[in-house]
Amino acid sequence: MAETLVLPDGITLESGARIAPLEIAYCTYGSPEHPAVYICHALTGDAEAAVWWDQLVGPGRPVDTDRFHVICANLLGGCKGTTGPGSINPATGERYGLDFPLLTMRDLVETHRALLRELGIERLHAAVGGSLGGMQILQWALDHPEEIGRAVLVCTTARLTAQNIAFSKVARHAILEHDAMDVARMMAHITYVSDEALRRKFDRARRRPEAGMTLRTDFEVEHYLDHQAEVFLARFDPHTYLYLSRVMDYFEPFAEPVTAPSTRFLLVSFDSDWRFGTEHSVFIEQQLLERGADVVRHEVASPWGHDSFLMNVPEYHELVRGFLYQEAAHAL
Amino acid sequence: MAETLVLPDGITLESGARIAPLEIAYCTYGSPEHPAVYICHALTGDAEAAVWWDQLVGPGRPVDTDRFHVICANLLGGCKGTTGPGSINPATGERYGLDFPLLTMRDLVETHRALLRELGIERLHAAVGGSLGGMQILQWALDHPEEIGRAVLVCTTARLTAQNIAFSKVARHAILEHDAMDVARMMAHITYVSDEALRRKFDRARRRPEAGMTLRTDFEVEHYLDHQAEVFLARFDPHTYLYLSRVMDYFEPFAEPVTAPSTRFLLVSFDSDWRFGTEHSVFIEQQLLERGADVVRHEVASPWGHDSFLMNVPEYHELVRGFLYQEAAHAL
């Protein structure tokens, strides 16, 4: 589904390292005549926003592809068509692997901007992202507010906590020291869902209690984690996990001088999210308000934890729809 | 420090499996003339209660070794002197390893009871334990209330949640599939401490920011986890981790018929504990009250998460002291 843009001259990273050529896999939806809405995906997403974010993006959805021209690209460092550690390093003829340079949030943003330049889009009606997606949009809006009319930041953060970094570190340690992407994914998955969600879905149910106790998989929640890991391993490059998770750890945009952004912000958090919960959105709100920005923030009740941003949560969807569409009508 | 009791005839487990000979490593403190207080250790503890629980156990401490005769044994399945998967299987002349039979909470309790029989102790003034330690005491008091006058159950549970089991599963998966005890320990350690504790201790501090970004260890919280894993690997048998963590997953004493226990219970939980938080103690309290037991429950404010039971938290210590000592004076 995704198209690929090839930039032979590539991109110079914030670190000074150069990646060339640069390939960017992207999808577009809706008419180019409509206001442009850019979607940034999270850690394990891809360019096909209308697939992985089908609850939010599509005909009649809050990000309505009948009304907006929607663009989404696989992230720099990704493994879904955009240049990343799994790509061939032209200097060696081999895959980059751990020779891929470290990335910053700004590098991810510059890749999106390079794509938009090629597409001839100078200004976005809006940009929308959850988790790592929201972090990119925040960086983008702080650096180039004139390019983004409205920013929708869902369950995101401007500053990972020590606990966030700790989980991230253990996942990377599992991959780097033990080639254990399955362990990394299982652990991360637990942090994406709430205690309550796991309780509702599985509680303490066992698949075959008549078989007696075992050290291996028995409880339904264990089968679920096994399945999650298996599916994920088949589709994801562990190196991308290393690089993109690290971008998040180092992200701290308000540690730099930031002037008043003209972008208007909608911040949404979920009350059961224990990864980037409401306190993270409150921090972003405070930082933006101190700098004179226009910010609306909502905490939405949802039992699904961090993953709520991908789920059908009507209150959240209505907030996004209202912010994008009413404003669009006003702007058009 | 620990002594070892050898029971040549061993023990028959709840499953019917037999472990013989059975060695039990144990420590005693204080005069045998004083009322006996039994300590049960948690997942990674050992018999030396006055070392690992020095905040609670010792001369002048809440579990006062000048006033009580304190006994603590390494758990069945352990790796600190009591027979476990690292012991030699007499049937093969090799270490048991994964041939060690699966254990139940009752099996751990029966091992403690076998020790007490040998020591000639028929009744305990009290039994005290945190986390897995508390689970053993709960099972013991429900099965043999006449043997335990007072039970102190600190940040424990009678029913692991799906999230608890999920973390436990990922740790076992890391050990079984990747020989990655370090990953298991790092992850578990995050669940033992609160978000707030990590924030206070490390926040986002980096050890060598001037060295630039790295995929490997950089933030202080990462150095801390590396250190925790290294220390732990040097002292602990991964097989013990497998077996004892699984005992916890299957533990659900109130799923069986329980008659009114005559033991008096003190339940303590900590407000920052997100592993076995107050809701776990509330559940135990409800179950015990429904069965007519004498129960006192307190939630104590402490920033340290689950690990609070090992820390110097004065309110908690005074609760334990009051429960043990005033009652002791009354009983003597």
Interface predicted TM-score of the whole assembly (ipTM), two decimals: 0.95
CA B273 distance to own-chain centroid: 15
Band of residue A332 on the pLDDT scale cut at 50, 70, 90: very low
Enclosing domain of residue A12: 3-160+261-331
CATH number at residue B110: 3.40.50.1820
Task: Decide if pLDDT at B69 tops 90.
Answer: yes
Q: Indicate if B96 and B137 belong to the same structural domain.
A: yes
The reply to whether B249 falls in a domain is: no
Tell me, yes or no, if B246 comes closer than 8 A to chain A by beta carbon. yes
Reported as a pLDDT band with limits 50, 70 and 90, residue B325 is confident
Reduce the DSSP state of residue B216 to 3 states and report it.
Answer: coil
Smallest Cβ–Cβ distance between A183 and the set B173, B204, B216 belongs to: B173
A201 and A79 co-located in one domain = no
Classify residue A274: in a domain, yes or no: yes
Question: A170, B161: Cβ pair inside 8 Å?
Answer: no
Q: B80 and B25 in contact (C-beta within 8 Å)?
A: yes
Decide if pLDDT at A179 tops 50. Answer: yes
Q: Does B252 touch chain A (CB under 8 A)?
A: yes
Task: Return residues 181-210 of A near B (CB < 8 Å).
Answer: 182-183, 186-187, 190, 195, 198-199, 201-204
Q: Give me the pLDDT at residue A258, please.
A: 86
Does the pLDDT value for residue A107 go beyond 80? yes
3-state secondary structure of B127: strand
Chain A residues within an 8 Å CB radius of B215: 98, 102, 172, 176, 242-243, 246
- Residue B258, pLDDT score: 86
Mean pLDDT over A218-225 rounds to 98
In a domain, A256, yes or no: no
Please list the active-site residues of A: 131, 273, 306
Question: Mean of the pLDDT values across residues B76-84?
Answer: 98
Average pLDDT over residues A160-182: 98
Please say if the pLDDT value at position A143 is more than 90: yes
Percent of chain B residues past pLDDT 90, beyond the cut: 96
Q: Which of B64, B87, B125, B131 is catalytic?
A: B131
A1: pLDDT confidence band, cut at 50, 70 and 90?
A: confident
Confidence of residue B248 (pLDDT cuts 50, 70, 90): very high
Residues B27 and B149 in one domain: yes
Q: Is residue B312 part of a domain?
A: yes
Clarify whether residues A292 and A278 are in a common domain. yes
Residue A331: pLDDT above 70? no
Q: What is the end-to-end Cα distance of chain A in Å, rounded?
A: 30
Percentage above 70 pLDDT, chain B: 98
Helix (H, G, I), strand (E, B) or coil at B29: strand
pLDDT of residue B329: 46
* Domain co-membership, B262 together with B121: yes
Q: Would you call A204 and B174 a contact, using CB atoms and an 8 Å cutoff?
A: no
Does A23 share its domain with A153? yes
User: What integer pLDDT is reported at residue B84 of this predicted model?
Assistant: 98
Q: From the candidates B46, B64, B273, B307, which is the catalytic residue?
A: B273
Distance separating alpha carbons of residues B155 and B176, to the nearest angstrom? 28
The predicted structure's pLDDT at residue A326: 67
CATH of the domain at B224: 1.10.1740.110
Q: How far apart are CA B241 and CA B236, in angstroms?
A: 8
Beta strands at A3-7 and A94-95: parallel, antiparallel or unpaired:
unpaired
Residue among B98, B99, B222, B234 nearest B172 (CA): B98
Q: What is the pLDDT of residues B111-156, one digit of tens each?
A: 999 999 999 999 999 999 999 999 999 999 999 999 999 999 999 9
Domain tally for chain B?
A: 2
Residue B268 and residue B229 share a domain = no
Does residue A268 share a domain with residue A139? yes
Average pLDDT, chain A: 96
Which pLDDT score, from 0 to 100, does residue B328 have? 47
pLDDT band at A60 (very low <50, low <70, confident <90, very high): very high
Q: For the stretch A10-24, what's the b/e string if a residue is b when 16 or more beta carbons lie within 10 angstroms of its beta carbon?
A: bbebeeeeebeebbb
- pTM of structure: 0.96
CB-nearest to A166 from B104, B174, B225 is B225
Residue type, A295: V
The last residue of one of the domains, among A185, A213, A243, is A243
Structure-token pair, residue A227: 């399945």
Q: Which of B163, B201, B249 sits opposite A195 (nearest CB)?
A: B163
Q: Same domain, yes or no, for B56 and B143?
A: yes
Q: Rounded distance, CA A77 to CA B214, Å?
A: 15
Contact A174 B183 (CB under 8 A): yes
Whether pLDDT at A328 is above 70: no
Per-residue confidence (pLDDT) for residue B331, from 0 to 100: 47
B221/A169 CB distance under 8 A = yes
Q: How far apart are CA A116 and CA A37, in angstroms?
A: 11
- Average pLDDT for residues A228-234, to the nearest whole number? 95
Single residue among B221, B243, B265 that ends a domain in this structure: B243
Mean pLDDT of chain B: 96
Percent of chain A with pLDDT over 90: 96
Mean pLDDT of A201-212: 96
Contact B187 A187 (CB under 8 A): yes
Would A67 be classed as within a structural domain?
A: yes
| Span B261-281, average pLDDT | 97
**Residue burial A300-331, b: 16+ Cβ < 10 Å; e: rest:** bebbbbbbbbbbebeebbebbbebbbebbeee
A126 and A177 part of one domain:
no
The residue whose two tokens read 């309550």 is: A196
Mention every residue, 6+ apart, whose C-beta is less than 8 A from residue A148: A38, A123, A124, A126, A127, A137, A140, A141, A263
Residue B326 pLDDT level (bands cut at 50, 70, 90): low
Cα separation, B227 vs B127, whole angstroms: 33
Same domain assignment for residues A238 and A274: no
In a domain, B250, yes or no: no
Mean pLDDT of A164-170: 98
Residue A120 lies in a domain: yes
B-chain CB neighbours of A169 within 8 Å are 186, 217, 219, 221-222, 225
Same domain, B80 and B64: yes
Query: Would you say residue A302 lies in a domain?
Result: yes
